[in-house]
């Protein structure tokens, strides 16, 4: 375990300096054969040994997506809004559930995760931390509430997702944003969507809700997801009510849409106007 922690720290340093992911960390994680509980940011995160290679830098009390946490910390803490509903679509092992389920300004957390071991891990983390306002939905999210094919990648479960390949996919019943959330102004919604290419499809399945509520939307866009949709596709879907920014490694917003990992669709409403202070060149 000590060697894994040391290697994970080296991995983190190399990633921070060179933005490069060293090989081998997943291999070391797969040597873990017992479930355990990690202490992460003064909370408890359940480590499921069956999917230990999903945990990355969490073993060293460090979040895997620092820039997203920095940004969300600002979203949730630096405003007069105290009625956030945080929606995590593609929750994996529950990194963001852990961080925001007990935030004083986040009144509800809903996390979607269809993979069996990942959803079990989230359930355990919710239980051991006694998170009262967190709902786990074990279904994929798509453009329509219908039966879809979901690819469970056994060698790299972080790459699992909706597929059209009948030879790879398992039939699951999908849901949509419009089905799960009513047009309610009781909450201020923030969506995080990380689904290996299904991001645009999910947004398309929430057109009514998005039009009425104008949530802040963070979504993954990189060399994998860009094979399925373009930034222009998202801009056309969301329309003039939104501006898309890159989320940079410092947790700030930029219109320089190069070297992207996550994008932020910022609604042009007064409610989120305080985030304009995060916009850089």
Nearest to 88 by CA among 48, 122, 120, 49: 122
pLDDT class of 16 with cuts at 50, 70, 90: confident
The number of CA neighbours under 13 Å toward the Cβ of 130 is 0
CATH number, domain with residue 133:
3.40.50.150
Phi-psi region of 71 (alpha: psi -120 to 50; beta: other; left: phi over 0): alpha
Q: Which residue has the higher pLDDT, 105 or 22?
A: 105
Q: Write the CB contacts of 24 (distance below 8 Å, at least 6 apart in sequence).
A: 7
Residue 261 included in any domain: yes
Question: What per-residue confidence (pLDDT) applies to 264?
Answer: 98
User: Are the C-beta atoms of residues 204 and 143 closer than 8 Å to each other?
Assistant: yes
Q: What is the DSSP letter of 133?
A: S
Residue 45 vs residue 156, higher pLDDT: 45
Residue 15 lies in a domain: no
Residue 49 domain flag: no
Q: How many domains does the chain have?
A: 1
Digit-coded pLDDT (tens) for 49-79:
999 999 999 999 999 999 999 999 999 997 7
pTM over 0.85? The answer is: yes
pLDDT of residue 42: 95
Percent of the chain with pLDDT over 70: 98
83-124 pLDDT, tens digit per residue, is 999 999 999 999 999 999 999 999 999 999 999 999 999 999
């Amino acid at each position: 375990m000590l060697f894994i922690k040391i290697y994970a720290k080296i991995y983190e340093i190399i990633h921070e300096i060179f933005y490069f992911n060293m090989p081998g960390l997943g291999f070391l994680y797969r040597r873990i054969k017992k479930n355990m509980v990690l202490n992460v940011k003064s909370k408890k995160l359940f480590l499921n040994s069956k999917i230990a290679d999903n945990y990355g830098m969490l073993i060293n009390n460090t979040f895997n997506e620092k820039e997203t946490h920095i940004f969300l910390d600002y979203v949730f803490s630096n405003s007069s809004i105290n009625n956030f509903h945080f929606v995590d679509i593609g929750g994996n092992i529950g990194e963001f559930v852990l961080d925001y389920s007990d935030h004083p300004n986040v009144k509800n957390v809903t996390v979607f995760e269809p993979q069996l071991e990942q959803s079990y891990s989230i359930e355990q983390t919710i239980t051991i931390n006694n998170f009262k306002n967190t709902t786990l939905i074990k279904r994929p999210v798509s453009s329509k509430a219908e039966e879809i094919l979901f690819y469970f990648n056994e060698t790299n479960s972080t790459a699992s997702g909706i597929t059209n390949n009948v030879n790879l996919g398992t039939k699951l019943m999908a849901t949509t944003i419009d089905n799960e959330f009513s047009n309610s102004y009781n909450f201020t919604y923030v969506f995080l969507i990380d689904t290996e290419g299904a991001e645009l499809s999910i947004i398309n399945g929430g057109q009514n809700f998005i039009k009425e509520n104008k949530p802040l939307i963070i979504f993954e866009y990189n060399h994998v997801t860009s094979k399925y949709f373009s930034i222009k596709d998202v801009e056309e879907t969301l329309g003039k009510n939104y501006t898309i920014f890159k989320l940079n490694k410092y947790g700030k917003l930029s219109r320089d849409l190069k070297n992207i990992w996550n994008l932020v669709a910022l609604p042009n409403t007064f409610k989120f106007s305080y985030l304009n202070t995060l916009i850089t060149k």
